[in-house]
Amino acid sequence: MNRLSIQVISLLQDYIRRLGFTPVIHFELEGCYVPENPHKPLDFARINRQLKQFGIEGRLIPEYWRNQWEYVSDFAGQTPLKEAANLAFVMTNMAAIMASQGVAEVLIRPVVWSGDQGKLAKGSKRIFVDEKRDVHIPNAIQLNISAKDSSGENIIAKAFFGEYLQQCFLRTSLGCCLLFLPEEEAFERLKLKTVYGLEDELCSPVDISGGHQGSIALYKERGKHNQHMGEEAIFYGLDEQVLVSARNWQKTARVEHRLGASSLRYNPFVNIIFALLNLIDALEVYVAGHCQASLDSQRAEPLPQSLHSRGEATGAITLFERDDWFAQSIARVVTELSLDNNTMASNVDETIGYQVKEQVLKCYQKRIITTG
């Protein structure tokens, strides 16, 4: 699958360049670990030196819950294809990297059951009370998406481009949810807050929603927690306290797709294709000058409850089987590039998008065992 996906990503990147833009896409991955010695802290600086030696534009940082970590991509100018390769490397090699520090197990999965203990004080997000209870830790894979024009400026804040790009993801995420919710436990992650009463402790998304705090969030002036975006220090005092700061939210503006579940079945290359196709849809409308804000960005749409269809409830696999947008959008780009005498596209089968889709679905086909 990855060989075909790499071909598709290269074509999509080339098409976006021909439109006059540079795609900017970054991953964030959450996971947990089980230490052999619970009193020995993880040396994140050592891990980050190793990642740098391997040519990975990203770093590991401690996350909120006990023994939880987050891989954060660096803004170092890497292409979407390199970004996918970076995440694939981290997912494949993090267990070996951490093992050298006495980590017994690395958990890249949607939920780490009973991963921590604690109960937040009512109305607080940081103060815990003495009462203890199990916290099932949700782990996410997030995609941050923006684009730069020929002068290097972020266009998310221009001419309603960010609003339209958010609309694109709101429109396509249900049919393609199998790509970022690739295993059954991913759907258990969506139920954690309601089924297990962890509404105060957890802030993971549960549906397809927009605005600036939804699961497909548009960050401009304000971020997920209503904080000011893009604050930069200008002058410091003698005690290094910030005296004067400026807000350059246009620089950090982006759409953040927050629905992905951490999973070893998550394919970074296929999800980069999903992001680039949405970006292309928005860029073509932006070039035509037709982007506009929409109240639909505030709507919320339920996600399926399972990979599999049960009764009248349609599962993620069936939704992707019925989806036309993913494969047809790839085919359209290949055709456009071929008409433009693109050498790379001329050697590609126009059905390559359908082949990628079929390979995704093939991973979920039941094996039929026959005996002679």
Listed as ranges, residues in the chain with pLDDT below 70 are 1, 118-131, 221-250, 295-298, 366-372
Torsion of the alpha carbons at 207, 297, 357 and 20, rounded to the nearest 10: -140
CB 124 within 8 A of CB 198: no
For residues 221 and 142, give the distance between their C-alpha atoms in angstroms, rounded to a whole number.
20
Which pLDDT belongs to residue 1?
Answer: 66
CB atoms within 10 A of CB 283: 24
- Long-range own/partner contacts, residues 42-45 (CB < 8 A, 24 or more apart): 42/69, 42/98, 42/101, 42/103, 43/101, 44/69
For residues 306 and 344, give the distance between their C-alpha atoms in angstroms, rounded to a whole number.
39
For residues 326 and 262, give the distance between their C-alpha atoms in angstroms, rounded to a whole number.
22
Q: The whole model's pTM is what? A: 0.90
Compute the half-sphere exposure of residue 41: CA atoms within 13 Å on the CB side of its CA: 6
> Hey, what CATH topology would domain 20-218+253-320 get?
Creatine Kinase; Chain A, domain 2 (3.30.590)
Which pLDDT belongs to residue 368?
Answer: 41
Q: Which amino acid type is present at position 273? A: I
Q: In sequence order, what are the residues at sequence separation of 6 or more whose Cβ sits closer than 8 angstroms to the Cβ of residue 139? A: 29, 30, 31, 32, 68, 107, 108, 109, 110, 111, 112, 189, 261, 262
Which pLDDT belongs to residue 372?
Answer: 43
Q: Can you tell me which residue has the tokens 């996971």?
A: 31
Tokens of 261: 């579940």
Q: In sequence order, what are the residues at sequence separation of 6 or more whose Cβ sits closer than 8 angstroms to the Cβ of residue 296? A: 167, 170, 210
The neighbouring-strand residues paired with 108 are none
CB atoms within 10 A of CB 96: 11
Tokens of 173: 């995420």
Residue 246 in 3-state DSSP? strand
Which pLDDT belongs to residue 342?
Answer: 79
Domain ranges for the chain, please list them.
20-218+253-320
Which pLDDT belongs to residue 203?
Answer: 81
Which pLDDT belongs to residue 234?
Answer: 42
Torsion-angle region of 77 (φ positive above 0: left; ψ -120 to 50: alpha; else: beta): left
Q: Is 150 exposed, middle or buried (0-12, 13-18, 19+ CB in 10 A)?
A: exposed
Residue 193 in 3-state DSSP? helix
